Amino acid sequence: MNKTWWKECVVYQIYPRSFADSNGDGIGDLRGILGKLDYLKTLGVDVIWLSPVYKSPNDDNGYDISDYQDIMTEFGTLADWDELVAGMHARGLKLVMDLVVNHTSDDHPWFVESRKSKDNPYRDYYIWRPGKADGPPNNWQAFFTGSAWELDPATGEYYLHLFTRRQPDLNWENPKVRREVFDMMHWWLKRGVDGFRMDVINMLSKAPGLPDAAPLGGSRHVQGSEHFICGPRLTEFLGEMKRDVLSHYDILTVGETPMVSPDDAVALTHEETGALNMVFQFEHMDLDRNFAEQGSQPWKLQDLKAVMTRWQKGLEGRAWNSNYLSNHDQPRPVSRYGDDGPYRVVSAKMLATFNHLLQGTPYIYQGEEIGMTNVAFPSIDDYNDVATRNVYRVQTQELGLDPQVALAGIHKRSRDNARTPMQWSGAPGAGFTTGAPWIKLNPNYPTINVEQALADPDSVFYYYQTLIQLRKANPIFVYGTYDMILPEHDEIYAFTRTLDGERLLVVLNFTATSPEFAAPAELAYSSAELVIGNYPVEAGDVRRFTLRPYEARVYRLA
């Protein structure tokens, strides 16, 4: 396995709108981020991934881009961006930008032209089709509800949008589109970008003829996905991107790839032949989702163990995992896989141990490092996210669901759980803003905040800091081989990491109870030195011990 900096680093994701507001307008911005670089340096991360900061009308908070080569007005200017990247590089931090090129905003000049007439030079930049007698060109559904097609009155044809109707899909079959995207990437890379996180990048290639989809079933949760997930020309398009752009720079690339298997991931990220360094898979994120009912279901530790082990072993020696428990689209992990009540701090540390001890590059999402939790706003009007609002509308207006039941589902699943402002302090505005925040704060900010965490040596923050330091000091954290032990255990997730005769044992209690760990006979060791744990541990039997609620222990075996 090759050794590279992007395997050894730790990535921190910033959702700029909710991170830090420098001018009191209630919206996070680039100068706000600049003011927090020393904080991130203290945490110890190496790479910062910014969710989109480009010009955008914000139908989907920046994932709808109207100018790829300029900055969103509320976030600042290109000059601010230059200052930010200089500030990062001066501190040895790298910058990864979000690359959203499956679709643009409908405000993008290409689309404004494209919709004007059937013979407009930009017509073929997007995917236009005449409707069928009874409606749209096919039965594909959009991710955020409804048909994936929108009828445009100007020409009487439909355009494809896998996300909102304000996010028309680009036509990657058109070589001019690919040229535009590659030129834009070169432009940012020359300006100082150190990598890209590529939004829904496995959806670029749609099946020829755009055929109707089979009815939903299995793990497919959007009707039509079999015709655009890892489509026929995907590896060709990304291969071209690699040849034209990526191979000319020493950068980090991570593709966001819903609905992929480990084999799909290897095809995209193989050490020698892949176009990208890593992908984000979603199987562990989908364990608590009930797709049939657009709702939640309890997740099972057995399923989590099976999924993660399949990914760890499936990529071993061939490709590299990107490990994450949260991002701007997901509920907060402590509320989801841990406990956001009495065991919030220990369970946040246990989950951090899990994410940093798997083989792969760990990603931290803003606020995770202080154990921020889900929020339960009392009214749908408190929610901003377009996906949340669409689902609520369909559930209450079309499916007749009781509004309180729909709201309870939103409390669990809404993407806004991750988008409430970063909690810097207990001051009004949580230290995020001196004005009125664009979305309400989580009311727990007076107790859960950075100021508190920095003052408490036992905080979640310092535990993350220690994990990151350990990773830097111990190659086994990065490169050690993963092997699960005790696969049948319902409460404990335990595994080993092995490198050059050295071995770590990771024992994680995913419950609020006190299960007993008993090392399997085939795991030979006589002594074990604690490397990190989330409770004080006294000397004692290291082959058999009782775990406390959400306890995590990492031992070096001998």
Q: State which of residues 15, 49, 54, 63 lies at the interface with ligand GLC (CB under 6 A).
A: 63
Q: State which of residues 50, 72, 100, 422 lies at the interface with ligand GLC (CB under 6 A).
A: 100
Site map for ligand GLC, 146-165, x if CB under 6 A?
A: -----------------x--
Q: Three-class SS string for 293-330?
A: CCEECCCCHHHHHHHHHHHHHHHCCCCCCEECCCCCCC
By CB under 5 A, residue 27 contacts Ca ion: yes
Beta carbon of residue 74, minimum distance to Ca ion (angstroms, whole number): 6
Q: Which residue is nearest to Ca ion (CB)?
A: 29
* Tokens standing for residue 448: 């859960």
379 neighbors 537 (Cβ within 8 angstroms): no
Q: State which of residues 9, 29, 149, 517 lies at the interface with Ca ion (CB under 5 A).
A: 29
Beta carbon of residue 199, minimum distance to ligand GLC (angstroms, whole number): 5
Of 146, 168, 167, the residue nearest 157 (C-alpha): 168
Beta carbon of residue 165, minimum distance to ligand GLC (angstroms, whole number): 13
d(CA 127, CA 3): 41
Beta carbon of residue 21, minimum distance to Ca ion (angstroms, whole number): 4
By CB under 6 A, residue 196 contacts ligand GLC: no
Closer Cβ to ligand GLC, 328 or 332, answer by number: 328
Closer Cβ to ligand GLC, 45 or 100, answer by number: 100
Closer Cβ to ligand GLC, 283 or 551, answer by number: 283
Q: State which of residues 199, 283, 339, 551 lies at the interface with ligand GLC (CB under 6 A).
A: 199
Please tell me which residue in 21, 152, 256, 385 is annotated as part of the active site: 256
Q: State which of residues 21, 46, 59, 264 lies at the interface with Ca ion (CB under 5 A).
A: 21
Of 141, 161, 140, the residue nearest 150 (C-alpha): 161
269 neighbors 6 (Cβ within 8 angstroms): no
Q: Where on the phi/psi map is residue 295: left (φ > 0), alpha (ψ -120 to 50), or beta?
A: beta
Beta carbon of residue 170, minimum distance to ligand GLC (angstroms, whole number): 12
Closer Cβ to ligand GLC, 67 or 483, answer by number: 67
Q: State which of residues 1, 4, 8, 25 lies at the interface with Ca ion (CB under 5 A).
A: 25
* Binding residues for Ca ion, total number by CB under 5 A: 5
Handedness of CA 412, 388, 98, 366 (dihedral sign): negative
166 neighbors 172 (Cβ within 8 angstroms): no
> Is 82 tagged catalytic?
no
Region from 26-34, 210-218, 378-386, 477-485 binding Ca ion, contact rule CB under 5 A: 26-34
Region from 6-14, 24-32, 310-318, 491-499 binding Ca ion, contact rule CB under 5 A: 24-32
102 neighbors 152 (Cβ within 8 angstroms): no
* Binding residues for ligand GLC, total number by CB under 6 A: 9
444 neighbors 332 (Cβ within 8 angstroms): no
User: Residue 149 forms beta bridges with which residues?
Assistant: 160
* Tokens standing for residue 68: 């790829």
* Tokens standing for residue 88: 């990062």
- From the list ligand GLC, Ca ion, none, which binds 98 (C-beta under 5 to 8 Å, kind-based)? none
- From the list ligand GLC, Ca ion, none, which binds 21 (C-beta under 5 to 8 Å, kind-based)? Ca ion
d(CA 344, CA 453): 13
Of 76, 42, 428, the residue nearest 50 (C-alpha): 76
d(CA 147, CA 164): 10
Beta carbon of residue 203, minimum distance to ligand GLC (angstroms, whole number): 9
- From the list ligand GLC, Ca ion, none, which binds 486 (C-beta under 5 to 8 Å, kind-based)? none
Beta carbon of residue 79, minimum distance to ligand GLC (angstroms, whole number): 27
Closer Cβ to ligand GLC, 19 or 424, answer by number: 19
d(CA 519, CA 540): 14
Q: Which residue is nearest to ligand GLC (CB)?
A: 63
- From the list Ca ion, ligand GLC, none, which binds 329 (C-beta under 5 to 8 Å, kind-based)? ligand GLC
- From the list ligand GLC, Ca ion, none, which binds 46 (C-beta under 5 to 8 Å, kind-based)? none
Over the range 229-239, which residues count as b (16 or more CB within 10 Å of their CB) and which as e? bbbebbbebbe
Q: What residues have CB less than 8 Å from 324, skipping those under 6 apart?
A: 280, 355, 362, 363, 365
- From the list Ca ion, ligand GLC, none, which binds 23 (C-beta under 5 to 8 Å, kind-based)? Ca ion
Q: State which of residues 65, 200, 422, 552 lies at the interface with ligand GLC (CB under 6 A).
A: 200
d(CA 370, CA 450): 7
- From the list Ca ion, ligand GLC, none, which binds 150 (C-beta under 5 to 8 Å, kind-based)? none
d(CA 383, CA 61): 13
Using CB under 6 A, which residues numbered 73 to 92 contact ligand GLC?
Answer: none
Outline where DSSP puts E strands in 72-191: 94-99, 128-129, 149-152, 157-160
204 neighbors 231 (Cβ within 8 angstroms): yes
Amino acid (one-letter) located at 89: H
> Is 490 tagged catalytic?
no
By CB under 6 A, residue 228 contacts ligand GLC: no
Beta carbon of residue 197, minimum distance to ligand GLC (angstroms, whole number): 9
> Where along the sequence are the contacts to Ca ion (CB under 5 A)?
21, 23, 25, 27, 29
Residues recognised as catalytic: 199, 256
> Where along the sequence are the contacts to ligand GLC (CB under 6 A)?
60, 63, 100, 163, 199-200, 256, 328-329
